[in-house]
Amino acid sequence: MFDKAVTYGSIWEFLDSQTVSGEQKWVLSAIQKHGQELITMLWRILGNEQDVCDAYQDTFLQLAHFEGCRKPNNIKAYVFSTANNIAISMLRRKIAERNRIARSVPGKDDEHSPYKELDSKFLQENLRECIARLPEHMRSVIVLRDLAELSYTQISSILKISKGTARVYRCKAIQLLAVWMSKEE
């Protein structure tokens, strides 16, 4: 998936431990520990290798510069929340740009053609747009559970909510997504 152009191993070759100062080695440890899960989550949210690379880089840059280069209390929560926010912001910018272009092109009436409805890429983009519209608490649970494939136990510790609350948020989010996706048809 992500290894088409850049392999996870080549990232480690680039990030030689000699290039990082002693007090920042915890960032390399975080990349090693959570990097592959993060790539999987970003790939599922964004569906585009270049965007995944950009979001991945931005996430770890923000981690390295967290509050004057200090280490956050819960690195995994910080990394996944930051990556989620970056990815959603990227999606929102793309949606706004696509809407701006669509408004500027007169007579664009092929958006609801049967061909596009059957196109899986079109459906994936619609789902991504709908996920981006979810309230933050529901969106976070959906992204962590369904895209990052984390357990409810992990989600509850990252978001500081109970496992039951995470399940309720996911259930409500799925119901909302179903309604929104059926309106798109």
My answer on whether 75 and 157 are in the same domain is no
The overall average pLDDT reported for the chain is: 80
When pLDDT is cut at 50, 70 and 90, the band that residue 185 belongs to is: low
My answer on whether 137 and 160 are in the same domain is yes
163-184 and 152-159 are packed helices; what angle lies between their axes, rounded to 10 degrees? 100
Of all residues in the chain, what percent carry a pLDDT higher than 90? Answer: 32
Structural domain range at position 74: 1-108
pLDDT (0 to 100) of residue 11: 47
pTM of the model: 0.59
**Coil, strand, or helix at residue 162?**
coil
For the chain, what percentages of helix, strand and coil (3-state, to nearest 5) are there? 80, 0, 20
pLDDT (0 to 100) of residue 23: 64
Q: Are 12 and 118 in contact (CB under 8 A)?
A: no
Q: Report the number of distinct structural domains present in the chain.
A: 2
pLDDT, tens digit (0-9, with 9 covering 90-100), for 62-77 = 888 887 777 888 888 8
